[in-house]
């Protein structure tokens, strides 16, 4: 247990981030997106912490089942809808909303004779070109859904932005215009804005916003961290030093001997690696904190361990705390060094990491 990497989940930060989203969203209802195991923070704990959300968004029916089993009674939206006709009965049993985005799903609904009502969200592809009906068939699809007696008539109309994190990219404005044209005079609430949409596109907030990253204090904007945008990181990843060694000038450290000591120096070894989810792609120079002091990785990340250049904190000793990311070291900075995004890192924690909850 003493060697275990810890992911501390700050429940208070989750709640405060939701409150900040509401401030920016105006009158819109807030769907808290908790897919990918709550962006790596833990599906059930995140949903409980965000109990004030108006709905939860999940990627699969299985996640909806987990939330219902955990006692979550709020509205839950399965963002990719049914994967096969047999899913419809389970969606109804669990009282889950289904996003309908493809002709195959529409055909299953039209063939279904289950009298129980199902709430649906109609997804329109305005430029993402991933899931959704083409704008020119939106009215016809909406009419077909409204004609079904076992479909709740209050159909939510939605789309998904491809580049809302680029505030100077005209694509988002074109997507909003395409959505407005496709849904003009159609009854039903509108849902357009994701996290970046909430930040940068006031005209896209409408009746619902779907927010993921911001709730976890993760930035949706390149070059910015969550704190830069006024949101608090909800995860601190930490471990301990398990060794401190003196290594001579000119000696090399780690696999592939990629780091050469420029002088006689202390090198620490911390109990974390890609087996825990820390990115193997993080190069020498990637920052970590030892006892709150900023230092850097030395050499290649291995499965269980990383080496650390301790010249900035020569009094470091075995057992000292090492922070890989958190409020004082934004995960976005680590992601930039590793050539990825913050979402990838928080979602990548493995079962070796011990998750603990902090009410702060």
Annotated catalytic sites, by residue?
A: 35, 255
Task: Give the bridge partners for 357, in sequence order.
Answer: 9
Across 143-175, b (16+ Cβ under 10 Å) vs e yields ebbeebeebeeebbbbbbbbebbeeeeeebeeb
Structure tokens at 293: 């002091």
Structure tokens at 354: 């011990």
CA distance 273 to 301: 6
3-class secondary-structure state, position 214: helix
Q: What's the Rg (C-alpha) of the chain?
A: 23
CB atoms near residue 54 (< 10 Å): 14
Name the residue among 181, 158, 162, 183 with its Cα closest to residue 172: 162
CA angle, 99 as apex, 93 and 101 as ends, to 5°? 135
Stated length of the chain: 360
């Amino acid at each position: 247990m003493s060697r275990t990497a810890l992911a501390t989940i700050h429940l208070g930060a989750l709640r405060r981030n939701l409150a900040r989203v509401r401030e920016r969203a105006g009158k819109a209802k807030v769907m808290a997106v908790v897919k990918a195991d709550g962006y790596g923070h833990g599906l059930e704990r995140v949903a409980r912490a965000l109990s004030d959300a108006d709905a939860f968004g999940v990627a699969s029916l299985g996640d909806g089942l987990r939330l219902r089993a955990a006692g979550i009674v709020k509205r839950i939206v399965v963002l990719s809808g049914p994967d096969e006709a047999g899913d419809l009965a389970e969606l109804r049993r669990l009282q889950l909303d289904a996003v309908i985005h493809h002709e195959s799903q529409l055909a299953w609904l039209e063939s279904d004779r289950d009298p129980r009502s199902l709430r649906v969200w109609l997804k329109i592809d305005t430029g993402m070109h991933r899931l959704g009906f083409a704008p020119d068939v939106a009215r016809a699809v909406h009419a077909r859904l409204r004609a079904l007696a076992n479909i709740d008539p209050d159909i939510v109309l939605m789309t998904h932005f491809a580049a809302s994190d680029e505030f100077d990219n005209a694509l988002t404005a074109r997507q909003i215009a395409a959505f407005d044209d496709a849904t003009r005079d159609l009854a039903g609430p509108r849902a357009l804005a994701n996290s970046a949409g909430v930040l940068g596109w006031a005209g896209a907030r409408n009746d619902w916003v779907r927010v993921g990253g911001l709730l976890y204090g993760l930035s949706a904007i390149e070059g910015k961290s969550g704190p830069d945008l006024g949101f608090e990181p909800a995860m601190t990843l930490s471990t301990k030093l398990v060794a401190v060694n003196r290594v001579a000038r000119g000696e090399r450290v780690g696999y592939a001997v990629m780091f050469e000591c420029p002088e006689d120096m202390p090198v620490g070894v911390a109990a974390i690696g890609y087996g825990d989810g820390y990115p193997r792609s993080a190069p020498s120079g990637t920052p970590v904190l030892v006892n709150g002091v900023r230092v850097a990785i030395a050499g290649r990340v291995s499965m269980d361990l990383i080496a650390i250049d301790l010249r900035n904190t020569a009094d470091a000793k075995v057992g000292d705390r090492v922070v890989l990311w958190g409020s004082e070291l934004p995960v976005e900075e680590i992601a930039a060094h590793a050539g990825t995004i913050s979402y990838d890192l928080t979602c990548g924690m493995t079962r070796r990491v011990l998750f603990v909850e902090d009410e702060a």
